[in-house]
Every structure is written in structure tokens, then in C-alpha cells.
Structure 1
Amino acid sequence: GRIKRVRTDQGDIEAEYVVIATGCWSPRLAAMAGAFIPLTPAVHQMKDIGPVPFFADSKGDIEWPIIRDMDTNMYERQHGTGLEVGSYAHRPILYTPEDIPSNAVAALSPTEFPFTQVDFDLQDEHSLELMPSIIGDENVREKYAINGILSLTPDGMPILGETPEVKGLWSVAAVWVKEGPGTGKSVAEWMVLGESEIDLHSSDIARFHEHQKSTFHVKARTHEGFNKTYGIVHPNEQWSSNRNVRLSPFYDREKALGAQFYETAGWERPFWYSCNEHLLAKFGEKVMPRTSEWEARWWSPIINAEHLQMRESAGIVDLSAFAIFDVTGPSALAVVQKLAVRQMDVAVGRVVYTPILGINGGFKSDLTIMRLAQNHFRVVTGGAHGMADKKWFSDQLPADGSAHIVDLTSAYTTIGVWGPRARDILASITKDDLSAEGFTFSTCKMIECGPLRVLASRISYVGELGCELYIPIEQGAKLWDLIWEAGKKHEMIPVGIGVYGTTGRLEKSYRAYGNELETEYNVVEAGMQTAKIKDQEFIGKEAHLRHRAEKPVTTLCSLTVDDHTSSTGEKRYMLGKEPILTLDGGPIVDSHGRRSYVTSAGSAPSLGKHVLMTYLPTDLAVMGAKFLVEYLGEKYPVTVAGVGSAPLFDPTNERILS
């Protein structure tokens, strides 16, 4: 549907665009139009005490720094001559939008509920311990205390953008006070110009899968996440609530193999398998063990052992979390051609990996598209961003109905098989030609594996020979069993996403959307431009042509850490988002004001190195150049080992193309 008007008690207001910016009431307004804004009202407790003698001479509301006490999930903030004490340490107190009273019946403000002192007793003790001269002063009185209402979302991020359900209906919800001005500017740019100056993909309302819009999911995740609002959260920390929602057909088999499951878009994905623990003895120090608890948390050296064994023999990988949708109809080619940077008018059976751009030439996504028939294209993209990709494709459909999108995410499952022996394993369960000549790289075709017809796509995200296998989800377990049995004599092992998404990817310098690829960086800066550009128009082409004609402001590079030794003598391993510095410790900033930081970090077991990806100003992006990375307050030496798209491992791609 499309928004047409807003009906009020004062009459109708015709409107081509409507923005819902009503905080905790947003879900109720969205529901009136058949849209979903998945958030919940939650209590944030705060006290205002004073007057404080220490602030007696204060002339403004805020003259002193805000104290953020991470160990107690609290803050203390000067407000004129008073002090505000706020907490995110108390028990989660959640409401529904329907619980929020109207202005007419609210005793105070509708978003101010009576203060519950029992929930704040411990916080009183903590604030007294931190500021005894203020909190302990008998002359400093409690002026005001509330259970204030704010909006929480299942992943802790704002909810911005046009709703997937209703054209012209926009959400600007779950925005914190300090982020309000910047958010308003960014959404205004998005609405008027088609794109914001800063990347907003993590806040895009289109990111939610259907189960993530359910009241149960919203309540479960916000209940768990409330105490993490001010907490110290590990970058790889997993949610514990509302798990086992989406299970692949291999789940029971993986569980029996000791899979350690991480969650993506509701899917339970094996990150590593405890059945491979015996490989630690085989590879010894090559698994690059970590002794620091912080880096060893949510990680296992088994990941690196699986990586090394896959490079020797083969691995089977569960890729069920892919988002899959078909574009069909007489205008299907026109739709994908408009969206993809790469040429899409290719032979049936070709697989095209392509950037998807915004109007300014930055990355909206990167994904693969298979041409299955003259008017039939299959799009495969990452699960986390899959629904946003589907909306972007849907937004480009012609009004005459000559192209359609069908979401197959829950209808198909995917298995990856890669490694030097992958061809031998698959050849033993099919009579179809899988030779290098009969099944070339970047092609797909139907093959028969026993009683099953399987769509095989010869691509790789781990830098090894092999392919992705797509099959209706109810037949997935049978396909797994066929491959598993065939792989036994070839020393095939189950391999987790720790290899697929990190170690295998980083050794090949493959980029990842949301890490290296965002709207703030362009194709040339990411080193993903091709020798030629297609004649057909596509979104972002004008900007892309300009970027190709200019010297790139920054260039994506792969760095290796030269020495991991910390001041205590313990070796430390970066996890991502750390600043890259000059040798004298200064920040590195390009001419567009973007600082260099680690976009991805992880082991490269085949190289015996820890790899960091980062954008460097192009003049500094030189092989062998030396820099520092700052990690937890200490600086470590790093070297540029790769510039642009050149892989660190198997630079000629001999293994993939064999």
C-alpha cells in the first residue's frame, strides 16, 4: 500500500509522506496503516538531587563532564545546581505501547511513571560510593525521581526509514536525545536526496525478519538487552533469549557433532564443532591459541584447526541463513540490470557477484545473482541484511507488474562444500560433469545427487575449490547425509561460520557488507572496480563513473600484526573497530574526514598471521608501510601486506579455479 492521508479529529490531512516520530507510541500509529515498528516502552530510572554546594556557582545547565560508570551501569550528570543520577542496572521494567496513558488521563507526563524506590536501592549505594561528598551531604535533598519511559528495540538500534509494508510511511523511532539532531538530519537527507551522508544500514527498519517483529521477540530481546545498555558488551557476544527459532534441516546432526551455535537472523549457525577438537593436537601452534580471556571469549582455536584441515582436505558448511529471493517476469532483467553494477545480461547459468550501489556510489549491498532462465534471476545475500536487500529490490519493481519478487529464504537451504577434495566428494554422488571444463567458476547448473535434484553454484567465499548447493529445505537432510557419507574417505570435516565468515575470508581479502562495504565508501576505494563498465544504466552509475575518473581518497588494505606482545608479556589479538595510527601515535584521517580503523580482524592460519582490514589514505596505502594499531590502551606494530583486492593467500586463485 501507499500512504495517502492522515485522519485526525480535526479532519483529514492529505500527505504523500508521513513520518512517525512518536517514540513509544510509534507501534500503535504504524499499526493503523498495517506497518510494524518493533519496539517496546521501557523504564529508565532517574533521580534529581540538590541543590549541590559544589555546583553553587554554575551558570548553565551543563558545565561539568558527565560521569558514565560502566561497572555499575549508571551515570551522574550535573544539571544546573543539581545532580541527576540515572541507572540501567535495575531490573528491566517493560510496558506495551497500549499501557502508556493519554495526555488527558496521565497524572504527570504520559511517559513519567511513579518512581519505584526498591529498584533503585542498590544504585543509591553505588552513587554514594562514587560521589560521597555530594550524595552523602545531608543538605542535598532528593528533588525529583521518576520511572521515565524510553523506547527499546530488539537489537538496541534506532528504527529509521520507509516501512516495508507501506510506501511513503517513514519511521524515526527509538532515537536517544543525544542522537536526535544528527538523526533528523540524516533521515531528511535520505527522504529528500535518496541517501544520507552517513551509513544507516544498521538502523534501517527494513532489517527485521518477520519473527523479529513479534511481540514475544521484542519483549525477550529488550528484557535481555536493557542491562547491556550501559554495560561492557563483548563484540561477539550472543543473545540467549528467543533462540532456536529457525533451525536448518541439519540442526540435529550438527548438534550431535558438538556444534557451538551462534545466531543470525534467527537461524542457529554452527560457529565451530567440538568434534574437531582432536585437530588441535595435529596442528599445534598453527592454530594460534589465545591466552587472554577477552579475546578467547566467544572464540575457539578449533576454528583455526577447521580452517587448516579444510585447506588440506574439505569442509561441509551450513549456509541456511542466506536470504534468497527470485526476480521473475518479462522485466526481470531490467530490474536486476538497474540494481547491479556488473553486467546482468549474461548467459543462463552464469553467476554474477556484484556490488549494489546507492545514488552516491556507496555500497547498499554486495550479493550474487544467478540467471536461471531468460526471465528468472535468483538473488542470494546475507541473512542479517537480507530483508533490507529484498526491500531495495522491491522498490525498483515496475508499476505495470511485469516483474515480481518471491522470497525463498525459508523454502530453500544451502550447503557449501570446499577444499582440495571437494570435487572428488561431489563427483562420487553425481554423474554430472563437475570437471574444471564442465563446471567452470561463476556458473551454476542443476545436478542429480542420488534421488535429489540440486542447484550447484560454483563460487567460493573461503578461497577453495568447491560450490554452494541449493535444495528445497525438506530435502536438505538427505543431501547432507549423502555428502557426509561420501566425505568420510576424503577426511572431510564439518566447518563452522568462524572459518566461512572470518578466517577464510580474510586470507583472501574478501570484503564483507557492514564491515568494509558501506554507503560511506565507494567501489574504487574498496578495490572492486572492473576493467570495463557496462553500457546500461544502473543506480549510482553517474557517481561511480566519477569515482573511476578520480584518484581514490582512500584504499582498502590488509594489514598483518608484527608483534602481539603486550606490556604484560601476554599476546593480544585485535577483534575489530580499533584505530589505526601513525608510527608517532597520531590519528590517520583522509581528506573526507574519515579515520582509519579496523573494519575486520581475525586469524589467517594458513599464513600464521593475524589480519586487520582497514581503509588508508591512498598515499599511505603502500605495500610494506608500517603503522600502529591501538588496542585496549596499548599500541602494536602492523604492516601493510595487501593493497586493494589482492589476496594474501593464493594470490593467483589457483585453488579456486582448479
Structure 2
Amino acid sequence: NAAGLWAREVGRMVGLELPVLAMEHMYLITEDMPEVIDFNKTTGKELMHCVDFDGEIYLRQERQGMLMGTYEKACRPWSPLTTPWDFGHELLAEDIERITPELEVGFRHFPAFNNAGIKKIINGPFTFSPDGNPLVGPVRGLRNYWSACAVMAGFSQGGGVGLALANWMIYGDPGFDVFAMDVSRYGDYATLAYTNAKVRENYARRFSIRYPNEELPAARPLLTTPIYDKLKDAGGVFGAYYGLEQALWFAPKGEVDQFSWRRSNDFDVVGAEAKAVRESVGLMETSGFAKYSVKGSGAEAFLDKLLTCRIPAIGRMTLAPMLKHDGKLIGDFTLAKLGEGDFLLIGSGIAEAYHMRWFESLLPKDGSVELQALGLSLLGLSIAGPNSRKLLQKLTHQDLSTAEFPFMTIRRMDIGMAPAIVGRVSYTGDLGYEIWMRPEHQRYIFDLLMQEGAEFDIRLFGLRALNALRLDKSYGSWSREYRPLYGPLEAGLNRFVALSKEADFIGKAAAAKEKAEGGTLRLRTFILSARDADVIGDEPIYHNGAVCGWVTSGGYAHGSGLSVAVGYVPKGIADETQGWSIELLGELLPAQLQAEPLFDGDGARMRA
């Protein structure tokens, strides 16, 4: 499906509603300009392309004149429900008044335009996805159906889209990490109305730089859980991930996010949330994780081939990397065995459709495996901190002592009157428990935990505090540290790759080769001498003054009181203790290699 303006119609032929919408887009072309002609003669070059973020316009040379275009705030979708089959790429009616505010800024910033004649005004439709990136790749559930849609900038994006698809079709893999343009990054929540709202927002912000703590409001809230109102009443500030509202932090009354590249007004509050976890007990919602049920007589053999880990015993969990055939990471999960032929797999929420496509392509044809993405039919809460066991023990008759319920144990149990699945594990790196329940029980369990947790000064915490806490432990995350660019040895996950197990899991030969040869990179943690800002990802890492690596994620580890950066560097220098620095907001800052986790380095507290 490379049908451009008709992508929706071609998708609907097979029952597929693609999240794509065409927008009217206008630009003007001037007559020949003396300034352009003179520049060309003097330099022998064309004028460079230009984007003016303040004016939200772009410029480029067009013959011996100039083109000025804009992504205006007063944007207009074109044919939002259906695309006429008889549309022949005609131009649309001009509506210069709609883009006048942007043009006025452009003419003010580039005075030569004031003396130029306008030769032509162009208005035509072109397509966008909700986030502005293409929709590329095989479509889950449709055999040999491929998408190459929403390619907004054909000349600049077409080559990459074509290469990815060619590799994918011929070799079964795009050849590089294309998740940002993978059609599977959207789920069923991306309806026609959702797409309309998000595309208009994206178009109107095309030249607006998004701050790292900025959450965009269009098409929200859409997916919520039964405790959404309770979290909101408690000051919850939310972000939307895979359509679901998830609490980022809990603001004092009257506070809202103040967008910034530097530490913002959430800094002290997030620190207090993290401190509550480390000192007593905190509670957060975990419904945003992807949950998969894998059942049947062939479930264990299927998972043994799919994942690199050893299959745990009944009532136990393990970390479970997943590789492509070339040995690169395609997922990281927690695998739990609830019973014979009964498994629960927990992974990244934003990758649910992405992973389901992979799982389903590998299912045995004999019907021996029943695979289901549980979505919002299974919701979660997590409690963590030194008093988390005391709190949970008040709510169940089962013995939660380490002897009876050790680290990485999972069991069905009642919490108060409600049935649940409880696992002793926490992404905070502290003593903690994940509690999974049906939607109708979530409010009850939440209220019970908050009520009984008052004795321990229980505090709600959000995803920003969770990020701070996982940095204390140097834990990686999907789409940051764990991507199809890296092997498990490079990513520090090699201890969960059971090369000696009998099953010939996908990527086993490549993982064995990586182990033998050592790969090329290593994931490392650094302490940064930062003052009022922290890394967010993609900052360059230097060693002895030369760029050698890149940051994958980071932030302020409030529990340790340090600014942390996690990233990849060449294996040959990965254990050097001196000479490191990281560029942050244009400033080169000293960095120190942190070989051990900042918190609970030997895992004693987590396993206590």
C-alpha cells in the first residue's frame, strides 16, 4: 500500500484503517530575484535551504527566485473522511489569508521578499501520520500486506523508506532500527477522529521544538484506567503512551509542568517521590506495560525458541531478552510461569503491536499455542520500598517472608477480597511487588493499599520518579538502551542469554559469535558534573577530547543525588576510568565512569 492520498481507501479494501490524513499545504514562489542571481554568480552555488522556527516558515531557491512555505497554525485537513477517486492531483484553491500571519513574519525576517513579485501560490494536499513520520512495514494479521504510507516528504524520506522495505521483503529485516516509522507503533486506538486531531496538532507544530518534558494535548485523554480520576485528583500530571494516560508526577495544587530544557518545577517533587520509595513505600500504576498470555501444550517450547532465557519453574519469573536472527535485541521482557503451559509475559507498552506481529509470525501452525495481548483487560499497580512487604502482608494471609516468597517469585493470591497475581519484582531496584488484577478490581486494590499504607506514609510516584530510581541501578529500557542496533553482550544482558540451553533460540548462533568476538560496543553509566540540566538522550560522549559514543538516556538520580547518563562507547575504552566528558546543551562537562550501581550494588536489599 503505497497509495499516498488514497492510502486509507486501499487499506479499507482489506479492513484496515490506517492512521493517515491529508492536509492542505501552501507555499509561494517569487519571480527572479536580483539577490539570488548575484549570490549564484558570486559563489557558484544555490542558496542554502532555510527553516525559520520563529516564523514557522521554510525557504529554498526555486530557479532564480525563492520559495517560501509555512506550516500555519490555522491548518486545514483535506478530505478528512474519504479521498475522491477522481482527484487527479489538481491544485486546491488559494487561501492566502490563512497563512498571512506567518508570511508577515517571513517578509519581515527576509526583507528581500518585499521587493519581489509573486509568480505563483501553490496549495495542494499531502499526507501525515499522527506524529508526522511514515507508516512503513508489514501489517500485522495480513499476509504479505505492506505499508509505505504517510511519506510526508517524498524526496527526503523516500530513499530510506524504499531501502527499509527492500531489505525487509528480501531478508526479513529492515537492516536498521525503523521503529519510529514502523506502522506497528500505533494500535487500534488510532481511529479516524484521533488521527484527525493529532495530525492537525503535528502540522501546526511542524517547526515548534518540543521540550523534553512537554506533553502534547490533542486527542487526550483517550484511554484511561479505573483509577485515572483518583490519580488526577491527587495532582497527577499525565503523558499518553500507546494511547493510555500514565501519571508522570504528582504536582502540588496549582502547579503545572513548566516546559524547559533545564530542570523544571517538577524537580523537587519528583525527588520527594523517589525519596519516599527509598525510605518507606511508594505506589505507582503499571497498567501501561504490555501484558501477554501464552498458553497451551506448545507454549513452553515456543517461548524457549523465542526468548534467550531459561524457562523458569512454576511460580518463578526471569528476565527474558528476545533477539532477531542476526542476534540484535528486538525486545526485553519479564517471563513468568504461572502453571503448566500457562505463562505471563510483560514488556514495553509502546511496542505491543510491534511484538505481537513478531510473535504471531513465529507461532506453530498446529494450534498448540494460544497467544493473547491482554491490553487493558489486565491492569497493574506496583509498590516498592523497604516497607512494601509490611504493607502487602497486611492485605493477604499468604506468607511473604523471603523464605516463602523470595525475589522473582510470582503467585496468584487474594489482596483483601480481590483476586490478583503478585510478583516480587520492581523496576525501582528496591524491595517491591507488582500486582496484576482485572479492571473491576483495580479501584478496590488501590484504595486498600492507600488506606493501609497510611501507616507507612505511602506516597504516589510517577514515571519520572521511576526513571530516577532505575538510573540508581543502571537499568536499561526498551527503545533506548535496548534496540535492534545492539547485541545482548553490548547491552549488558548476556547473563540472561542461555547459550548452553538445548533450545536453538532465534539469534543463538549470532549471540554465540558476539560472545566469542566481543561485539564492538559496551553500555556504560556515567556520573555527570551537571548543574541545572540533565541529559535526555543522543548527547555525544567524549573520551580524551574526541567523540566516541552517544547517550541513550539519563536524568537526575534523586536517590543518590547525582546526574546520570547511560550510553554506548567502544568496547576498547569502555573500562577506562579517566578522560570522559559529555556535551550537554552546548557545554562539555566532565563525566566519571560508574562501574557499579549507585544503589544496592549487590542486590541485597532487593532480595532481602
The reply to whether TM is greater than 0.5 is yes
Alpha-carbon distance in structure 2 between the residues aligned to 1:50 and 1:404: 66
| Residues 1:331 and 2:298 are matched in the alignment | yes
TM-score w.r.t. structure 1 length? 0.87
| Residues 1:46 and 2:27 are matched in the alignment | yes
Alpha-carbon distance in structure 1 between the residues aligned to 2:254 and 2:580: 36
One-letter code of the match for 1:610? S
* Aligned 1:386-401 pairs, distance under 5 A: 386-401=352-367
Q: For residue 71 of structure 1, what is the aligned residue in structure 2? A: 54
Taking only the aligned residue pairs, the percentage that are identical comes to 27
* Aligned 1:81-480 pairs, distance under 5 A: 81-96=64-79, 100-102=83-85, 106=88, 109-110=89-90, 112-133=91-112, 135-137=113-115, 140-175=116-151, 176-177=153-154, 178-212=156-190, 214-274=191-251, 293-297=260-264, 299-344=266-311, 346-480=312-446
One-letter code of the match for 1:319? T
Q: Per-residue CA shift, 1:587-609, capped at 9, x if unaligned? A: 22xxxxxxx22211111122211
One-letter code of the match for 1:188? A
Q: For residue 567 of structure 1, what is the aligned residue in structure 2? A: none
Alpha-carbon distance in structure 2 between the residues aligned to 1:463 and 1:339: 26
Specify which of 547, 554, 569 is matched with residue 587 of structure 1.
547
Please say if residues 626 and 640 of structure 1, whose CA atoms lie closer than 8 Å, have aligned partners that are also in contact: no
Alpha-carbon distance in structure 1 between the residues aligned to 2:216 and 2:535: 22
- Number of aligned residues: 601
| Residues 1:561 and 2:528 are matched in the alignment | yes
The CA deviation at 1:165 is: 3.3
CA RMSD of aligned residues (A): 2.3
Structure 1 residue matching 2:527: 3-state secondary structure: strand
Please say if residues 61 and 78 of structure 1, whose CA atoms lie closer than 8 Å, have aligned partners that are also in contact: no
Q: For residue 601 of structure 2, what is the aligned residue in structure 1? A: 651
Residues 1:105 and 1:504: Cα distance change in structure 2 (over 3 Å): closer
Q: For residue 636 of structure 1, what is the aligned residue in structure 2? A: 589
Alpha-carbon distance in structure 1 between the residues aligned to 2:79 and 2:429: 48
The CA deviation at 1:551 is: 2.1
The CA deviation at 1:198 is: 1.7
Residues 1:123 and 1:254: Cα distance change in structure 2 (over 3 Å): closer
Q: Per-residue CA shift, 1:307-332, capped at 9, x if unaligned? A: 01210001111111122121122221
Q: For residue 606 of structure 1, what is the aligned residue in structure 2? A: 559
The CA deviation at 1:28 is: 0.9
Alpha-carbon distance in structure 2 between the residues aligned to 1:298 and 1:232: 20
Q: Per-residue CA shift, 1:265-290, capped at 9, x if unaligned? A: 22222212236999xxxxxxxxxxx9
The CA deviation at 1:633 is: 2.1
Q: Per-residue CA shift, 1:203-225, capped at 9, x if unaligned? A: 2212212111x111001111111
The CA deviation at 1:341 is: 1.0
Alpha-carbon distance in structure 2 between the residues aligned to 1:314 and 1:395: 42
The CA deviation at 1:582 is: 3.6
Please say if residues 516 and 600 of structure 1, whose CA atoms lie closer than 8 Å, have aligned partners that are also in contact: yes
Q: Per-residue CA shift, 1:527-552, capped at 9, x if unaligned? A: 11027422211222221111111123
| Residues 1:528 and 2:511 are matched in the alignment | no
One-letter code of the match for 1:164? R
Specify which of 485, 492, 503 is matched with residue 468 of structure 2.
503
Alpha-carbon distance in structure 2 between the residues aligned to 1:350 and 1:383: 22
Structure 1 stretches of at least 4 aligned residues deviating more than 6 Å after TM superposition = 59-62
Q: For residue 597 of structure 1, what is the aligned residue in structure 2? A: 550
Residues 1:166 and 1:234: Cα distance change in structure 2 (over 3 Å): same
One-letter code of the match for 2:468? T
Residues 1:276 and 1:446: Cα distance change in structure 2 (over 3 Å): farther
One-letter code of the match for 1:257? A
One-letter code of the match for 2:295? T
Alpha-carbon distance in structure 2 between the residues aligned to 1:100 and 1:454: 48
Q: Per-residue CA shift, 1:12-55, capped at 9, x if unaligned? A: xxxxxxxx112221111011012232110012211111212233
The CA deviation at 1:625 is: 2.6
Structure 2 residue matching 1:294: 3-state secondary structure: coil
Alpha-carbon distance in structure 1 between the residues aligned to 2:414 and 2:168: 47
Alpha-carbon distance in structure 1 between the residues aligned to 2:591 and 2:232: 39
Residues 1:578 and 1:392: Cα distance change in structure 2 (over 3 Å): same
One-letter code of the match for 1:321? G
Alpha-carbon distance in structure 1 between the residues aligned to 2:208 and 2:285: 32
Please say if residues 55 and 80 of structure 1, whose CA atoms lie closer than 8 Å, have aligned partners that are also in contact: no
Specify which of 520, 540, 544 is matched with residue 511 of structure 2.
544
One-letter code of the match for 1:352? T
The CA deviation at 1:583 is: 4.2
Alpha-carbon distance in structure 2 between the residues aligned to 1:233 and 1:323: 26
Alpha-carbon distance in structure 2 between the residues aligned to 1:317 and 1:77: 50
Alpha-carbon distance in structure 2 between the residues aligned to 1:563 and 1:330: 54
Specify which of 578, 587, 591 is matched with residue 539 of structure 2.
578
Please say if residues 141 and 357 of structure 2, whose CA atoms lie closer than 8 Å, have aligned partners that are also in contact: no
Residues 1:89 and 1:101: Cα distance change in structure 2 (over 3 Å): same
Alpha-carbon distance in structure 2 between the residues aligned to 1:43 and 1:437: 66
Please say if residues 263 and 533 of structure 2, whose CA atoms lie closer than 8 Å, have aligned partners that are also in contact: no
Q: Per-residue CA shift, 1:169-228, capped at 9, x if unaligned? A: 00011222212112211121122112122201122212212111x111001111111122
The CA deviation at 1:297 is: 4.5
Q: Per-residue CA shift, 1:86-108, capped at 9, x if unaligned? A: 11134221123665444x554xx
One-letter code of the match for 2:421? L
The CA deviation at 1:76 is: 0.6
Query: Which is worse superposed, 49-58 or 147-156?
Result: 49-58
The CA deviation at 1:416 is: 0.3
One-letter code of the match for 1:336? L
Alpha-carbon distance in structure 1 between the residues aligned to 2:434 and 2:67: 56
TM-score w.r.t. structure 2 length? 0.94
The CA deviation at 1:518 is: 0.8
Alpha-carbon distance in structure 2 between the residues aligned to 1:336 and 1:412: 21
Please say if residues 269 and 321 of structure 1, whose CA atoms lie closer than 8 Å, have aligned partners that are also in contact: yes
Alpha-carbon distance in structure 1 between the residues aligned to 2:527 and 2:53: 32
Structure 2 residue matching 1:54: 3-state secondary structure: helix
Please say if residues 555 and 617 of structure 1, whose CA atoms lie closer than 8 Å, have aligned partners that are also in contact: yes
Structure 2 residue matching 1:522: 3-state secondary structure: coil
The CA deviation at 1:462 is: 0.5
One-letter code of the match for 1:650? D
Alpha-carbon distance in structure 2 between the residues aligned to 1:625 and 1:490: 43
Residues 1:64 and 1:581: Cα distance change in structure 2 (over 3 Å): farther
Q: Per-residue CA shift, 1:110-148, capped at 9, x if unaligned? A: 4x3222111222233222222212x122xx322222122
